[in-house]
Chains A and B, each alone.
Chain A
């Protein structure tokens, strides 16, 4: 079972952090192991996921799209969760861990604001202090989520360095953690960062894949043929894929091609990056020929990150999953399609996965094949961007 005891997924992962944080990571790993075996912890989390977050989420056969393309497409409806995205699966789990470890202050980084919102929500629930780092650029792009976080009692700290997006918010959160490590718990929002974070986030998000498996078996009496999810840092995709690791189901991760893979403006670390080390982990990374980290671009703030979770890099190199990309323009088309035909307004992130599944994948597979797409979040937060795009 990966990661190994060094926190490695094959060549990827590990703990590339300042010495100051090593103790905190060791402590977290130990506490997490205890929590995993603690039936009370599991029961409490399962209960919260059910009565507070709204699990299980439906697995919906998208009837109109399926009819239109002549192949069945199911949607795993993470968009129906409390706070509007899959992020709450992870933040409830980690906030519960923080409480168990006696840490009363929570920090987080956020791009689109969904993770920040889910963290602020979980902090409010457990009565914890919460500071969220967010790039200034993202604060402008996602003002609704900023307002919500403040309503929930969190402090949103703008980050002005570098590209002023998720990458820099993450660096700033790490700097805070280095400073306040003794009393602060850092809730990382994606399957990235130093070990044990990629494992912890994957485990808490695996509820998506486990439910999908059960529901799909109930409806179709078999496993799906294809599973498609968007990949930024890759937490929804990893949670969706992981329970299917040992099956023959084809797993497809969709990255942000932004303005195009041949431009400098995209977020496709797996499709176009090379192996490097950022934010504590070894993984595929967008970097220049000198090893300086490049600035990612995507219309969706949640995919606007130059790195990716190390387990995805492992899936790529071992060919367990295939990674493809979809442009800003195509994602907008996916967004409109799902809204108009199916009556579901998706977030821009999973709009990438929708577009790929419907427009690229479905036409080339036979009619008896079934696709499941992880609809990781809803589109409320993106309404302003869509408004501007349609002008």
Chain B
């Protein structure tokens, strides 16, 4: 059983829901990212979603776009992110999944990507521009290696698509809470509960919800109707506002603690 499945079993036994924190590797530097991984882990993030910077992040709003640009500016490469995880794995067992655009995976080579990921201690991957229709080969390789391919579902997904996505997914399913790009929103979409019930009727795989979640209250609300809440842009904002300051890591830690406290 890989670390993600183990984590969800553990949460289920305790009757708890997952809190997943997103940060971008190399924003502002890989050194800080490493410290942030330890901080997120110690402040109770159940899973860490680690972004790999890409030149054209078409599913992301301005906050994560800028974060990605900072990551590229600090010369972050896929290989260096693998190394970072390999290093962090010596000290923590928190599941880590990548958020990465498909071109970086394709360019690295599918087989090599999964082998290196498993070898470095990465547990799964979210690829926002890779629907199940295009992920068949990657899923095959992943299955052999017990590596999770986390597909996305959206408010526009039909019952047929929910079935297709569920069949291709492992680890968990990433439900995109709204039609739009990543980024904090004042209000959650109203149809989340109904859509999640429809998904839950079809699959037993845990379903976590991301996009637009930024406050402890929203985390709590989402956790009530799903298996976990994912917060990205709101954390990135704290990083953005504290670049170059000594207490950046601590501030992110405190914020995550309040978010987590909501659950």
Contacts and interface: CB of A to CB of B under 8 A. Distances in A.
B112 to A, nearest CB: 12
Contacts of A18: 58-59, 128-129, 152, 154, 176
A16 B134 contact: yes
Nearest to A21: B156
Contacts of B59: 18, 175, 178
A312 B59 CA distance: 26
13 contacts: A16-B129, A19-B151, A19-B152, A22-B156, A23-B156, A23-B157, A175-B181, A179-B181, A181-B156, A182-B156, A276-B107, A277-B106, A291-B78
A296 to B, nearest CB: 12
A279 B58 contact: yes
Interface in B104-154: 104, 106-108, 128-131, 133-134, 151-154
Interface string A270-301: 00000111111010010100111100000000
Interface in B32-81: 54-61, 65, 72, 77-78
B179 interface: yes
B179 A19 contact: no
A167 B103 CA distance: 15
Interface string A17-36: 11111111000000000000
A168 B77 CA distance: 21
A171 interface: yes
A175 B152 CA distance: 16
Interface string A105-127: 00000000000000000000000
Interface of A: 6, 14-24, 161-162, 167-168, 171, 174-175, 178-182, 275-280, 282, 285, 287, 290-293
Contact of B133 (A6, A168, A175): A6
Contacts of A279: 56, 58
Nearest to A180: B179
Contacts of A171: 56-58
Nearest to A17: B129
Contacts of B55: 162, 292-293
Interface of B: 54-61, 65, 72, 77-78, 102-104, 106-108, 128-131, 133-134, 151-158, 161, 165, 176, 179-181
Contacts of A19: 131, 151-154, 156-157, 161, 165, 176
Contacts of B102: 16, 277
B58 A277 contact: no
A287 B103 contact: yes
A106 B55 CA distance: 26
Interface-central residue, A168, A171, A182, A282, by most chain B CB under 10 Å: A171
Contacts of A293: 55-56, 103
Contacts of A292: 54-55, 72, 104
A23 B156 CA distance: 6
A285 B103 CA distance: 10
A66 B192 CA distance: 66
Given A19-B152, A22-B157, A280-B129, A179 B58 contact: no
Across the A-B interface, the 10 shortest Cβ-Cβ residue pairs: A291-B107, A20-B154, A179-B180, A19-B152, A23-B156, A292-B55, A19-B154, A293-B55, A277-B103, A291-B104
Contacts of B154: 18-20, 22
A131 to B, nearest CB: 16
A278 B56 contact: yes
Contacts of A6: 133
A14 B179 contact: no
Given A19-B154, A280-B129, A179 B103 contact: no
B180 A178 contact: yes
A161 B103 CA distance: 19
Contacts of A180: 179
Given A17-B131, A23-B156, A279-B56, 13 more contacts: A6-B133, A16-B129, A18-B58, A19-B161, A19-B165, A20-B155, A20-B156, A20-B179, A22-B161, A162-B56, A171-B57, A179-B179, A291-B107
Contacts of B72: 292
B108 A291 contact: yes
Contacts of B103: 276-278, 285, 287, 291, 293
A195 B153 CA distance: 19
Contact of B130 (A16, A21, A276, A278): A16
Contacts of B108: 291
B1 to A, nearest CB: 27
A167 B56 contact: yes
Contacts of A280: 129
B123 to A, nearest CB: 21
Contacts of A17: 129, 131
A320 B200 CA distance: 49
A291 B104 CA distance: 5
Contacts of B57: 171
Given A20-B179, A278-B56, A291 B106 contact: yes
A180 to B, nearest CB: 7
B22 to A, nearest CB: 16
Contacts of A175: 58-61, 181
